[in-house]
A and B are shown apart, each in its own frame.
Chain A
């Protein structure tokens, strides 16, 4: 049975950190899930563009799984794209809080119902300042951002274009005096412009999970990092060549065929086998080294 309840700002249960944002703190919090105050102890807000790139998704998955596994609660806004990537990486190995722009009984976007349930099943929380059946409004998304920022000691922006909701969240965090992390992206990418702006303004760039975890005074054990696969030294030269090229840039099979001067049939065969061995992976038509 999923617990449904209401916490008022005057209650003892009300998260301390959120109360500190003063007049902006929501008076009431409706919630679904198992409310225990442990979940609010170490929170990291992870937000990102709705138009997350495959790079953004991959990095979110990689970093957030490690962070969530270290018992840091991932807070985000349940939107598709960056938020969704953060939540779904977190449910795999930790706890996560979704702050809704609508009432807790409304699932928005609707097709993320599976994720909604997964959050609850994995001991997470669905939280909103709005009553049960309140429908999302254009202004409620922005209102929701201040709560996302308010819950956490730090905000991690994965990808954001200028003028995006993710930057609004980051601005709230700045206002509340919270730490800001940003994921560096390619300067040509639209959704890297926001994060680069944040870094310029003093946000800390994130290269690995420990960059964030050290802030929380927890570290991933060395062994855990080592277990992420290093490319094997195979005597198969085509494989080695492919690895060398993909290390510097992820590529589609056609350009790889041209660069290596190998027929697509042979290259396809090799790439399939490498994929099965877990050496490379494919997303959005491009291959990259794991």
Chain B
């Protein structure tokens, strides 16, 4: 008897249909065989399925069972085929029909219950696109799949319940999607108003958030770089619907959605340590997994101690920074992951860290400082729009000076301005493939950043005085565009350009 149970395989973010064909033959020696390019986890599925069925009080048939997974040339991986295989066998023993237009996915436990399995969200998207009506997934993974409207998602707790459902004795109710706020990570560790001083750095953060610009902070240890970066998520605009789907897809593929999780609505803040491997950061493995840069898609990738990152990793980030995607090629497959993130880097000015400190003495000689600076790849620095020096805050100044508190804006207030500026950009780029000022190429700059004679003259003078490269020149215009958007001005004025000059690339300086 031959039974076909439909399921899916996820290759990166791409989903293809996989037919799990189960044959129970009365002839031949009893046995259990899986064919069709199955990896170790799939092959082990035999034992899980057998034990789970037995745990449910059903006699495992003493027949020659062969499972084929078609198409046979696509590698299958993971534990998600337990459920389709078990359903195929059960359908043969209990004699029920496997409904047409349905998909199955889920890992079995020995006791017959189903465990949270990655990829349910991707399967739901696939079901929607190709007209499948019913999804059977583990209970814990049902909510993320139900985020896609128009398909029935059945939360399966265990095999017994499922058999009852198919035998029409007791139905499983399709799950209703509910936004799960608990599973969304806390937006920001700090509020901007907790950051004392750092007026200019906070302003730079606001501009970076508004225009999606990459930013680098250079300053002595303890000057507040990390705190500023960690406060950044609090001023980022929420993800829109399309962006939320993109991010959820990546997390579904990497197994990053917690049990019972829902659509990801917050911009991600990823802060990998500098000992991270290239594969961990960029993505990779023999079956390419998304790396930190993809998990930070539409969010923030914070690289603390930027010059401690190995050169190789920095160079590997160049192409994703430019294109917003990363293609991971392996001999067996090629996978493309989106990686459109905002890079926030922080670095010390010199090995001892005190080159810019107003009080402490730096013990490094210029050669050491030069070498230290050179650890940051030039081409990467070229792709960073905002450069700021973060000076340590003199706390005594705040104890004596109550005036300071007037400057302390809450993240919420800054966020309002950021959201407003983002909306302006969305409207501006409706006909373009980009969505923020930071992504503008030279052609866009020509089109959307017209400078008056007077403004152009200021910029020309500045590039002479500060020795700006052609690329820096363009960066200044992009940053000025964002400053103008924050100012609700269509025109880029002299003042906007002048402010953007504050964030020009600077050489490390000693105090």
Which residues of A pack against B, CB within 8 Å? 50-54, 80-81, 109-111, 190, 252-255, 257-258, 261, 263-265, 267-273, 275-276, 283-286
Contact = CB atoms under 8 A, between A and B. Distances in A.
Contact of B499 (A255, A265, A285): A265
B499 A268 contact: yes
Contacts of B458: 273, 276
Contacts, number: 98
A271 B203 CA distance: 15
B495 A257 contact: no
A269 B498 contact: yes
Interface in B200-259: 200-203
17 contacts: A80-B365, A81-B366, A111-B367, A111-B370, A253-B502, A254-B201, A263-B199, A264-B202, A268-B498, A269-B498, A272-B462, A272-B501, A275-B465, A276-B461, A276-B465, A276-B501, A284-B510
A176 B462 CA distance: 49
B367 A269 contact: no
B395 to A, nearest CB: 13
Contacts of B406: 261
Q: What are the 3 tightest A-B residue pairs by CB atom distance, in nearest-first order?
A: A264-B199, A272-B498, A268-B502
A269 B480 CA distance: 11
A269 B499 contact: yes
Of B198, B199, B462, which is in contact with the most chain A CB atoms at under 10 Å from its CB?
Answer: B199
A76 to B, nearest CB: 16
Contacts of B401: 258
A110 B368 CA distance: 12
Contacts of B403: 258, 261
B203 A263 contact: yes
Contacts of A269: 495-496, 498-499, 502
Contacts of B495: 269
Contact of A254 (B197, B356, B511): B197
A274 to B, nearest CB: 9
Interface in B149-207: 197-203
B366 A109 contact: yes
Interface residues of B, number: 40
Interface of B: 197-203, 356, 358, 361-362, 365-367, 370, 389, 391, 393-394, 397, 401, 403-404, 406-407, 458, 461-462, 465, 483, 494-496, 498-499, 501-502, 509-511
Contacts of B365: 50, 80, 109
Of A190, A261, A268, which is in contact with the most chain B CB atoms at under 10 Å from its CB?
Answer: A268
Nearest to A110: B367
Given A109-B367, A269-B499, A264 B510 contact: no
Nearest to A57: B510
B94 to A, nearest CB: 71
B498 A285 contact: no
B200 A254 contact: yes
Of A52, A81, A265, A270, which is in contact with the most chain B CB atoms at under 10 Å from its CB?
Answer: A265
B391 A252 contact: yes
B346 to A, nearest CB: 16
Q: Is the interface of A mostly helix, strand, loop or mixed?
A: helix
Given A264-B202, A285-B391, A257 B509 contact: no
Contacts of A264: 199-200, 202-203
A261 B502 CA distance: 19
Of B356, B406, B465, B509, which is in contact with the most chain A CB atoms at under 10 Å from its CB?
Answer: B509
A265 B205 CA distance: 12
B511 A263 contact: no
A50 B361 CA distance: 12
B197 A276 contact: no
A284 B509 contact: yes
A43 to B, nearest CB: 26
A49 to B, nearest CB: 11
A85 to B, nearest CB: 11
Given A258-B403, A269-B495, A272-B502, A111 B366 contact: yes
A255 B394 CA distance: 9
Contacts of A111: 366-367, 370
A272 B393 CA distance: 23
Contact of B203 (A52, A265, A270): A265
Nearest to B498: A272
A135 to B, nearest CB: 16
Given A258-B199, A268-B498, A276-B501, 12 more contacts: A51-B362, A109-B365, A111-B366, A254-B199, A255-B397, A257-B407, A263-B203, A268-B203, A271-B502, A272-B502, A275-B465, A285-B391
Of B356, B406, B483, B495, which is in contact with the most chain A CB atoms at under 10 Å from its CB?
Answer: B495
